[in-house]
């Protein structure tokens, strides 16, 4: 029987991250600047902000992965937003004009309902507004 391994983010489970205080999250996640972090076997360049009652998740690059990085981030972002009383999670994924496009990522984004659009202040990107 196959066992399911939980994907770790910087060595932490999503549950451990959700238990961090707002102060700890501001110090390590909500930095108002991009950060590189390990998600499973992937290196991810992203930025996380809370603006106008919504969590904004911006992903610029995902190297490696394939074991459910986006699904894990989706679940964690939704759970975090709900726990903080936010109204939505806005996703901005810069995977439109890549030198080496990840076709699997594009298929996953499209399956989740992302659409390519011009995002003010960010240019053309895959975008999805997940109302909670």
**pLDDT tens across 1-17, in order?**
444 568 999 999 999 99
What pLDDT, on the 0 to 100 scale, is given for residue 129?
98
Question: What CATH number does the domain containing 78 carry?
Answer: 3.40.630
d(CA 3, CA 17): 23
In whole numbers, what is the pLDDT of the chain averaged over residues? 92
The answer to whether position 49 is within a domain reads yes
Q: Is 18 within a domain?
A: yes
Q: Is residue 4 part of a domain?
A: no
Please state the domain count of the chain: 1
In a domain? residue 111? yes
Residue span of the structural domain in which 89 resides: 14-131
Yes or no: say if 90 and 55 are a contact pair by the CB < 8 Å rule.
yes
> For the chain, which residues score pLDDT lower than 70?
1-5
Give the dihedral sign, CA 36/59/129/69.
negative
Count of residues making up the chain: 132
The answer to whether position 9 is within a domain reads no
The pLDDT assigned to 97 comes to 87
Q: Which residues on adjacent β-strands are paired with residue 59?
A: 46, 93
DSSP SS3 for 13: coil
Q: Can you give the pTM of this predicted structure? A: 0.92
38 assigned to some structural domain: yes
CB 129 within 8 A of CB 57: no
Geometric angle at alpha carbon 68, from 103 and 81, rounded to 5°: 110
Q: Is residue 7 part of a domain?
A: no
Q: What is d(CA 77, CA 88) in angstroms, rounded to the nearest whole number?
A: 10
- Domain presence at residue 116: yes
């Amino acid at each position: 029987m196959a066992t399911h391994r939980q994907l770790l983010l910087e060595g932490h489970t999503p549950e451990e991250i959700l238990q961090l205080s707002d102060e700890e999250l501001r110090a390590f996640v909500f930095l108002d600047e991009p950060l590189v972090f390990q998600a499973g076997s992937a290196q991810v360049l992203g930025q996380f902000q809370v603006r106008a009652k919504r969590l904004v998740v911006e992903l610029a690059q995902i190297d490696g992965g394939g074991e459910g990085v986006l699904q894990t981030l989706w679940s964690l972002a939704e759970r975090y937003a709900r726990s903080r009383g936010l109204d939505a999670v806005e996703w901005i994924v810069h995977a439109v004009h890549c030198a080496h496009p990840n076709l699997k990522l594009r298929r996953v984004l499209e399956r989740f309902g992302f659409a390519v659009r011009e995002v003010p202040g960010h240019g053309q990107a895959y975008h999805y507004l997940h109302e909670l």
